[in-house]
Amino acid sequence: SQQGEEDPQALSIQEGENATMNCSYKTSINNLQWYRQNSGRGLVHLILIRSNEREKHSGRLRVTLDTSKKSSSLLITASRAADTASYFCATGGGGTSYGKLTFGQGTILTVHP
Amino acid sequence: KAGVTQTPRYLIKTRGQQVTLSCSPISGHRSVSWYQQTPGQGLQFLFEYFSETQRNKGNFPGRFSGRQFSNSRSEMNVSTLELGDSALYLCASSLPSRETQYFGPGTRLLVL
């Protein structure tokens, strides 16, 4: 079963615009991660935010976490055509999760040149 | 370091057959997890192996099994294939107790 919902399910923007994706989860967490998947290939880890952090940056990525609302958002600034991919949030993985990541349904991002 | 590799990349089988997929983790990574990805169910956790022991298992029938070898390479096996087993099977490796996983390119299985 999925951990939660991501919205929007699909997002279409022009190059240079910002893209914001949201993720909600159901249970308490120690951390939340975001992954990217290009066209049915393997997933690539983007960023991890811990439950005691509210915001984290990595290059053009900004992630926020609101544990009171059980939600996270991923912002990609100044989008490029190469950012076209599916983006997934995931919880778990370490400690007693024993290798189990629980993923959201994902957001399909299309960036038009 | 070389990334996670999976073989084969594509596979076509017929119902009732069995299949074995292979995964070689990043050197030094002893934890290997397997996931099934389908359009309907999304990404679902199958199982995780560490030091040749299955530590965690998802909600899949017993037709899905796996193992890990002493060099951390892992295989998963699906017996008596069903049409619904058509999916992208992803393997991921990580350092012990670390949350971040590194994924292979996946094996796309089509069951006819």
Per-residue model confidence as pLDDT tens digits over B60-79: 999 999 999 999 999 999 99
Span A4-20, average pLDDT: 92
Average pLDDT over residues A56-82: 97
Binned at pLDDT 50, 70 and 90, residue A5 comes out as confident
Choose from B35, B101, B102, B110 for mutation: most chain A CBs within 10 A. B101
Residues of B in contact with A106 (CB under 8 A): 42-43
Strand partners, A75: A20, A62
Give the residue-averaged pLDDT of A22-40: 92
Please list the residues that pair with B2 across neighbouring strands.
none
Nearest CA in chain B to A105: B42
Predicted confidence (pLDDT) per residue in A75-102, tens digit: 999 999 999 999 999 998 766 777 899 9
Burial class from Cβ neighbours inside 10 Å (0-12, 13-18, 19+) for residue B59 reads exposed
Chain B interface, best mutation among A9, A38, A41, by max B CB count within 10 A: A41
Q: SS3 of A1, please?
A: coil
Query: Alpha carbon of A10 to those of A18, A72, A101, B55, B87: distances in Å?
Result: 14, 17, 22, 35, 21
- What is the mean predicted confidence (pLDDT) over B36-62? 95
Percent of chain B scoring above 70 in pLDDT: 100
CA of B78 vs chain A CAs: smallest distance (Å): 20
* Buried b or exposed e, range A3-30, using 16+ CB within 10 angstroms: bbebeeeebebeeeeebbbbbbbeeebe
Q: Is A88 in Cβ contact with B106 (below 8 Å)?
A: no
* DSSP string computed for B67-107: EE-TTS-EEEEE-S--GGG-EEEEEEEE-TT-S--EE---E
Residue A3 binned pLDDT confidence (cut-offs 50, 70, 90) = low
User: For residues A6 and A16, which has the higher predicted lDDT (pLDDT)?
Assistant: A16
Per-residue pLDDT band for A4 (boundaries 50, 70, 90) equals: low
Interface list for chain A against chain B, based on CB atoms closer than 8 Å? 1-2, 30-31, 33, 35, 40-45, 48, 88, 92-95, 97-106
